[in-house]
């Protein structure tokens, strides 16, 4: 974990600035590096628009100084450019003066040649110097010497460029993690919180997943702490995600099962970076994440069912995973079995004063003459961080008299703990226009995209840009990294409270359901009303009058929704309802009519959200839709057709999930030149989509479950994600090779797909599972960024060609025709799964086994233990007796092979972990603690298989004398352990795994070795003392009381020391 003190670092504009010689690397190495950075979420300065000259441009100097990490790519002709050399001088100066990080990449050039300016590099340097002064030459020479002394990556040391790029990106991520931005710099006291939570997280233990709760009242800082943890820790995990704003997510109009599916879908889409991902059952998280080390933060949980949906059991997640839950409800955590919690308490008087001063005076102490005022105000705010921030921000720059005025008002409040009254100070400090903007965000636009909000409010009298800046400065909102406008729920309540206190005839926004019913039924609305937010959950019935909406001619925002599901729709609207012409937001869930009104003016509409509607059609002909940016008709199961969209030229997202009656997407979609997302999952009757059009902005297409769709959507060459599993597509067009940004393709379950010919070299992940393909094109070896290939269930696939060395995961389960695997992967840390591939040829098996020390995990059919495992035993346990004095430490590794057979008494997928326990007993009787690893979920085998995986000894050095014993025991509830084998790797064999980035660690249970003893009566078995159903049928080469002692130690300390393997 990064040092919390590093939170005070500078605020940089870019993550990366790269210095390079364009003709050498721009279109090759640099383009791939930039793509990897984009994939990892790393921002890199782009100099495309800057004109090159002899002197370095001021804009480049500024970019260098505003970048956290400076990467110098030294190539043969780098020194031929005075531009590059001047960049380098500035970079080295920034390193010296500002402490910025400099990284080096030697691309086809020897570091010594750079250091001494010799060879071809030296010749280029001499030619450049001949055109410049001696002063410049000396300056450049020193910079080259200095930069060449920085240890970096050398291309000649790598077998391929892709692996080096991945390593560089990983290094950059880790360095960024160690130098976080100023996002949390104003969080006084954060460092102490992080230290305490770090202790609870046991980050050095990777033997199981763990759930930790963060609990405390609203406004105390739980979300800020969780965001800081995510920022600091995410690079240490394979996958991570921050699930924000979960409060209320359980009241969105679906039944319990549907809502749990929806939550799992949201989590998997976010953590796997696959928007629009479809989930079919509640075991999806377990299936996808059980062997991944993940960091998941579930923020603001307020319903037990949310936890049941997203983190019901720790075994859903891979070893070392951490799930952090923030909530106001301590009892909720206890109900879920989470006892490992951190209570965020109110800060001390001293810390509270610092928080107030940080926002009021931009320093940690009061200005002269304000100390007593600040102390009184701190007490009035109840030491609540959110209140201190809001009130402090509202008084920044104010005079003492204004402070006194605010405090007098607060002191009149009967209950000083009424935080909403405290926070109202921030609202009252605003001008009228800013107050109006605050109320609109509180009711309609919280967590909305900033561009959408700007468009929504474009025709009001509000200065949106200035107003948002004021609200940010006063700590009333913040802008997220996704450019969403976010307001704390307590401040939302302040906004609603303000509206409730307004005189009814003055209200611009209506939020009270009973008042809205009166307005809609009795035509009591007026021109002052600009927005209606109508929660229909608590009403018996409402019959909307013909003229109700017509009277509110200034109505711009109409939102009709349910926060509680009751199964009934009791909103009745007239046949000819008239929506006001100035309407910009129409959000109406479960709209009851078959079509929109004929006289509906769409000219000003920005967002049309009508999920779960009864609509069959929308409107006739072409309509003025130039302001429309987002349309969502998900789950409108009766919608049969889309209208003419030719004028929706600013539409960015079109969402049609679950429109099961929709047959065709109109050709007018070709005019949607700003469309970025086309989401049409589960449109089971969709047959026709336009092809041979090029929507340059279209990046993501989701057509999962469009089971009648036979046409491949050839719509854009700029698509990055294409998800169309379970369709009837028969072929992929050759033009796909030109889609240079395509990184993720999922055609899983498209049973009609038989052939493939081309794919672009930009691919990262390809899923062809459960298709009828018979062969993979040979060109796949040229896809140098491909990391994941899944062909599970491809029954006709007979062979696999040579695969790219970048591949990390090959899933080929149940490929019953697969016989030949050409040149299996030579990639360190790769996972290969050939479960139930019964025709796999002897030569392919031999080559795989020969490379087994290279892989992290291998599974394939087999009944013969490879001879490479020189310690073997029948059954599920073995003991290695040490024959000479030696030592083991964290650098010592071993390889394990387990022969497993299906247990026909267990047909469920539950409890399928394959487990290993390990311990050491010295000759003198000295007993070392127990270690445990859960390598992965066992595969669904149908006959005997070999599972091979890699482990490490514990980090602490262990000395073994002659006669010491190393004991191993394997277990699985769903399969039988037939035979097991272990090989302790030599130094040379360890070298083949030196680049492992995610190995399985066996971490120590207890550091108190002197207390690992247990007393027995003569002849008594420890299994009689400690009951554990997993310890049955223990057999092996040497089974003594030592083995029994091993089980005893594990069981006695499991709860106390390995409790993070279960919910606590």
Identify the H or E element spanning 607: strand 607-609
pLDDT at 473: 82
Q: Note whether 671 and 693 are within 8 A (CB).
A: no
pLDDT-based confidence at residue 936 (cuts at 50, 70, 90) = very low
Among the residue ranges 36-40, 609-613, 642-646, the one predicted with the least confidence is 36-40
pLDDT (average), residues 381-409? 83
pLDDT at 989: 63
pLDDT-based confidence at residue 628 (cuts at 50, 70, 90) = very high
1040 contact partners, CB below 8 Å, separation of at least 6: none
pLDDT at 1046: 30
pLDDT in tens, 854-909: 788 888 998 889 888 889 999 988 888 877 656 554 446 788 899 998 876 654 44
Beta partners for residue 558, in sequence order? 532, 586
Percent of the chain with pLDDT over 90: 27
Residue 749: both structure tokens together: 């379950």
pLDDT in tens, 115-173: 999 999 999 999 999 988 888 899 999 999 999 988 888 887 777 788 788 888 888 87
Distances (CA, A) of 102 to 71, 94, 114, 176, 358: 6, 9, 16, 12, 32
Distances (CA, A) of 369 to 350, 358, 366, 425, 1028: 18, 16, 8, 22, 68
Reply yes or no on whether 521 is catalytic: no
pLDDT (average), residues 316-324? 90
Among the residue ranges 104-118, 398-412, 519-533, the one predicted with the least confidence is 398-412
CA angle 474, 480, 481 (to 5 degrees): 140
pLDDT at 560: 94
pLDDT at 749 over 50: yes
pLDDT-based confidence at residue 935 (cuts at 50, 70, 90) = very low
pLDDT at 823: 72
Specify the residue for token string 């990390």: 808
- Kindly give the residue spans of alpha helices, DSSP state H, lying in 336-431: 349-360, 371-380, 385-394, 400-411, 419-428
By DSSP bridging, strand 857-861 and strand 945-952 are antiparallel
Beta partners for residue 51, in sequence order? none
Q: How many helices (H) and strands (E) does the chain have?
A: 28, 42
- Angle, helices 119-129 vs 134-148, to 10°: value is 150
Give the DSSP per-residue string, 745-802. Answer: EE-TT-TT--B-----TT-SEEE-TT----B--GGGGG-TT--EEE-TT-TT--EE--
Q: Note whether 590 and 253 are within 8 A (CB).
A: yes
Specify the residue for token string 């009166």: 518
- What is the rounded CA–CA span in Å between residue 35 and residue 321? 27
Nearest to 558 by CA among 526, 527, 534, 537: 534
> Which residue did the predictor score with more confidence, 981 or 505?
981
Beta carbons within 10 angstroms of residue 1008's beta carbon: 10
What single-letter DSSP state applies at residue 299?
Answer: -
**281-285, 448-452, 852-856, 1051-1055, range with greatest mean pLDDT:** 448-452
pLDDT at 448: 92
Residue 766: both structure tokens together: 């390809």
Beta partners for residue 696, in sequence order? none
pLDDT at 281 over 60: yes
- What is the rounded CA–CA span in Å between residue 767 and residue 336? 35
pLDDT (average), residues 728-733? 87
> Which residue did the predictor score with more confidence, 1014 or 254?
254
Give the DSSP per-residue string, 654-680. Answer: EE-TT-TT--B--GGGGG-TT--EEE-
pLDDT at 1039 over 80: no
pLDDT at 655 over 90: yes
pLDDT at 278 over 80: no
What single-letter DSSP state applies at residue 145?
Answer: H
- What is the rounded CA–CA span in Å between residue 689 and residue 711? 7
- What is the rounded CA–CA span in Å between residue 661 and residue 664? 10
pLDDT-based confidence at residue 402 (cuts at 50, 70, 90) = confident
CATH for 4-178, options being 3.40.50.10140, 3.40.50.10190, 3.40.630.10, 3.30.70.260: 3.40.50.10140
pLDDT at 1004 over 50: no
Distances (CA, A) of 441 to 437, 488, 553, 609: 6, 11, 21, 18
Q: Note whether 389 and 357 are within 8 A (CB).
A: no
pLDDT at 508: 92
pLDDT in tens, 484-499: 898 887 788 889 989 9
Query: Cα-flanking dihedrals φ and ψ of residue 800, to 5°?
Result: -115, 130
- What is the rounded CA–CA span in Å between residue 313 and residue 294? 14
**349-358, 421-430, 638-647, 926-935, range with greatest mean pLDDT:** 638-647
pLDDT at 987: 62
pLDDT at 124: 93
pLDDT (average), residues 790-807? 91
pLDDT in tens, 670-727: 889 999 999 999 999 999 888 877 888 888 899 999 999 988 888 888 888 889 899 9
pLDDT at 1019 over 50: no
> Which residue did the predictor score with more confidence, 577 or 614?
614
Query: Cα-flanking dihedrals φ and ψ of residue 205, to 5°?
Result: -105, 120
pLDDT-based confidence at residue 1054 (cuts at 50, 70, 90) = very low
Residue 271: both structure tokens together: 């953590």
Percent of the chain with pLDDT over 70: 83
DSSP reduced 3-state for 364: coil
Residues in the chain, how many? 1064
pLDDT at 767: 93
- What is the rounded CA–CA span in Å between residue 233 and residue 45? 25
Q: Which of 51, 54, 66, 87 is catalytic?
A: 87
**605-614, 887-896, 972-981, range with greatest mean pLDDT:** 605-614
| Extended strands (E) in 906-1058 | 913-921, 931-937, 945-952, 958-960, 965-971, 975-984
pLDDT at 177: 62
Domain boundaries of the chain, sorted by first residue: 4-178, 186-343, 349-499, 505-583, 774-851, 862-1061
pLDDT at 549 over 90: no
Torsion of CA 439, 444, 446, 449, to 10 degrees: -120
By DSSP bridging, strand 958-960 and strand 886-888 are antiparallel
Among the residue ranges 96-100, 374-378, 656-660, the one predicted with the least confidence is 96-100
**What is the average pLDDT score of the chain?**
80
pLDDT at 181 over 60: no
pLDDT (average), residues 806-813? 89
- What is the rounded CA–CA span in Å between residue 46 and residue 992? 37
186-343 domain in CATH 3.30.310.50?
A: no
Q: Note whether 47 and 14 are within 8 A (CB).
A: no
Residue 798: both structure tokens together: 């007979």
Nearest to 357 by CA among 389, 312, 382, 322: 389
Q: Say if pTM beats, i.e. exceeds, 0.75.
A: no
pLDDT in tens, 441-488: 999 999 999 899 999 998 887 888 899 998 988 878 888 877 889 888
pLDDT (average), residues 557-562? 93
Residue 483: both structure tokens together: 């450019």
**56-70, 765-779, 852-866, range with greatest mean pLDDT:** 765-779
Residue 422: both structure tokens together: 């405290």
pLDDT at 182 over 70: no
| Extended strands (E) in 793-943 | 799-800, 809-811, 820-821, 831-833, 857-861, 871-874, 877-881, 886-888, 893-902, 913-921, 931-937
Beta partners for residue 632, in sequence order? 609, 655
- What is the rounded CA–CA span in Å between residue 981 and residue 346? 55
By DSSP bridging, strand 744-746 and strand 765-767 are parallel
Q: 4-178 and 186-343: same fold?
A: yes
- What is the rounded CA–CA span in Å between residue 974 and residue 942? 12
Nearest to 760 by CA among 712, 722, 812: 722
pLDDT at 755 over 60: yes
What single-letter DSSP state applies at residue 634?
Answer: T
pLDDT at 532: 96
Give the DSSP per-residue string, 73-134. Answer: EE-TTGGG-HHHHHHHHHHHHHHHHH--EEEEEESSS-HHHHHHT-HHHHHHHHHHHTTS-H
Which residues in 500-537 are b (16+ Cβ under 10 Å) and which e? eeeeeeebebbbbbebbbbbbeebebeeebbbbbbbbe
pLDDT in tens, 331-344: 889 889 898 899 88
CA angle 184, 188, 190 (to 5 degrees): 65
């Amino acid at each position: 974990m990064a040092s919390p003190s590093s939170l005070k670092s500078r605020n940089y504009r870019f993550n990366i600035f790269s210095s390079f010689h364009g003709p050498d690397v721009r279109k090759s190495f640099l383009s791939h590096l930039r793509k990897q950075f984009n994939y990892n979420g790393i921002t890199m300065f782009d100099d495309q628009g800057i004109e090159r000259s002899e002197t370095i441009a001021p804009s480049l100097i500024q970019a260098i100084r505003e970048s956290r990490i400076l990467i110098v790519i030294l190539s043969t002709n780098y020194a031929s450019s005075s531009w590059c050399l001047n960049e380098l001088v500035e970079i080295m100066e920034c390193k010296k003066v500002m402490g910025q990080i400099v990284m080096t990449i030697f691309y086809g050039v020897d570091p010594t040649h750079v250091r001494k300016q010799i060879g071809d590099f030296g010749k280029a340097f001499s030619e450049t110097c001949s055109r410049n002064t001696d002063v410049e030459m000396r300056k450049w020479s020193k910079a080259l010497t200095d930069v060449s002394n920085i240890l970096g990556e050398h291309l000649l040391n790598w077998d391929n460029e892709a692996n080096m790029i991945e390593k560089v990106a990983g290094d950059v991520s880790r360095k960024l993690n160690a130098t976080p931005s100023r996002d949390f710099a104003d969080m006084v006291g954060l460092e102490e919180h992080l230290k305490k939570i770090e202790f609870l997280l046991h980050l050095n233990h990777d033997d199981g997943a763990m759930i930790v709760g963060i609990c405390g009242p609203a406004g105390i800082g739980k979300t800020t702490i969780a965001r800081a943890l995510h920022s600091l820790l995410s690079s240490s995990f394979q996958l991570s995600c921050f699930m924000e704003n979960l409060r209320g997510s359980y009241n969105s109009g679906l039944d319990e099962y549907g809502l749990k599916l929806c939550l799992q879908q949201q989590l998997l889409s976010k953590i796997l970076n696959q928007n629009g991902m479809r989930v079919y059952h509640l075991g999806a998280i377990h299936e996808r994440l059980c062997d991944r080390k993940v960091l998941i933060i579930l923020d603001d949980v307020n319903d037990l069912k949310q936890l049941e949906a997203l983190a019901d059991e720790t075994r859903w997640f891979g070893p070392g995973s951490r799930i952090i839950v923030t909530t106001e409800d301590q009892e909720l955590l206890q109900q879920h079995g989470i006892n490992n919690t951190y209570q965020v308490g109110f800060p001390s008087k001293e810390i509270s004063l610092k928080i107030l001063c940080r926002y009021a005076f931009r320093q940690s102490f009061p200005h002269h003459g304000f100390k007593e005022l600040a102390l009184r105000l701190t007490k009035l705010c109840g030491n609540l961080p959110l209140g201190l921030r809001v009130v402090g921000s509202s008084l920044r720059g104010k005079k003492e008299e204004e402070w006194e005025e605010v405090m007098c008002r607060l002191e009149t409040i009967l209950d000083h703990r009424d935080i909403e009254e405290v926070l109202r100070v921030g609202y009252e400090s605003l001008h009228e226009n800013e107050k109006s903007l605050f109320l609109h965000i509180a009711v309609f636009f919280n967590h909305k995209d900033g561009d959408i909000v700007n468009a929504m409010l474009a025709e009001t009298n509000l200065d949106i840009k200035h107003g948002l800046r004021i609200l940010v400065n006063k700590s009333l909102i913040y802008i997220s990294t996704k450019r969403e406008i976010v307001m704390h729920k307590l401040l939302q309540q302040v906004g609603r409270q303000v509206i409730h206190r307004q005189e009814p005839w003055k209200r611009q926004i209506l939020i009270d359901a009973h008042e809205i019913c009166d307005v809609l039924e009795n035509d009591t609305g007026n021109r002052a009303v600009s927005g209606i937010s109508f929660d229909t959950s608590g009403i018996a019935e409402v019959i909307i009058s013909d003229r109700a909406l017509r009277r509110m001619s200034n109505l711009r925002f109409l939102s009709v929704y349910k926060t509680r599901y009751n199964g009934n729709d009791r909103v009745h609207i007239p046949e000819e309802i008239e929506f006001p012409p100035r309407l910009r937001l129409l959000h109406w869930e479960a709209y009851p009519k078959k079509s929109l009104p004929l006289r509906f003016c769409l000219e000003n509409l920005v967002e049309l959200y009508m999920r779960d509607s009864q609509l069959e059609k929308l409107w006739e002909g072409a309509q003025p839709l130039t302001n429309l940016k987002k349309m969502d008709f998900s789950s409108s199961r009766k919608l049969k057709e889309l209208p003419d969209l030719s004028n929706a030229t600013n539409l960015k997202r079109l969402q049609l999930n679950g429109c099961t009656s929709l047959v065709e997407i109109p050709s007018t979609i070709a005019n949607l030149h700003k469309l970025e997302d086309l989401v049409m999952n589960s449109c089971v009757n969709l047959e026709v989509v336009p092809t041979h059009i090029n929507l340059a902005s279209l990046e993501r297409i989701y057509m999962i479950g469009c089971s009648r769709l036979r046409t491949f959507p050839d719509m854009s060459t700029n698509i990055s994600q294409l998800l169309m599993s379970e369709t009837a597509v028969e072929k992929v067009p050759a033009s796909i090779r030109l889609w240079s940004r395509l990184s993720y393709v999922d055609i899983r379950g498209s049973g009609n797909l038989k052939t493939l010919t081309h794919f672009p070299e930009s691919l990262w992940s390809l899923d062809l599972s459960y298709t009828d393909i018979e062969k993979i094109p040979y060109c796949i070896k040229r896809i140098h960024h491909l990391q994941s290939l899944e062909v599970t269930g491809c029954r006709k696939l007979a062979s696999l060609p040579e695969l790219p060395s970048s591949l990390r995961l090959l899933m080929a389960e149940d490929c019953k025709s697969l016989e030949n695997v050409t040149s299996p992967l030579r990639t360190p840390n790769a996972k290969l799964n050939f479960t139930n591939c019964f025709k796999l040829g002897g030569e392919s098996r031999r080559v795989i086994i020969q490379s087994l020390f290279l892989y992290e995990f291998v599974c394939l059919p087999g009944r013969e233990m490879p001879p490479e495992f020189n310690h073997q035993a029948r059954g599920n346990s073995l003991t290695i007796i040490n024959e000479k004095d030696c030592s083991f430490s964290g650098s010592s590794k071993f390889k394990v092979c387990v022969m497993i057979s299906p247990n026909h008494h267990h047909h469920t997928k539950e409890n399928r972990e394959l487990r290993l326990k390990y311990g050491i007993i010295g000759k003198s009787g000295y007993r070392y603690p127990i270690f445990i690893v859960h390598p992965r979920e066992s595969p669904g085998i149908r006959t005997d298989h070999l599972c091979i995986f890699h482990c490490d000894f514990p980090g602490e050095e262990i000395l073994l004398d002659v006669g010491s014993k190393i004991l191993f025991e394997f277990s699985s509830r769903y399969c039988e352990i037939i035979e097991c084998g272990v090989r302790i790797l030599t130094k040379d064999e360890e070298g083949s795994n030196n680049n492992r980035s995610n190995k399985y660690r066996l971490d120590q249970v207890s550091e108190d070795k002197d207390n690992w003893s247990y007393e027995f009566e003569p002849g008594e078995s420890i299994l009689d003392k400690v009951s554990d159903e997993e310890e049955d049928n223990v057999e092996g080469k040497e089974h003594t009381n030592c083995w029994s002692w091993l089980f005893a130690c594990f069981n006695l300390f499991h709860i106390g020391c390995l409790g993070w393997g279960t919910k606590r």
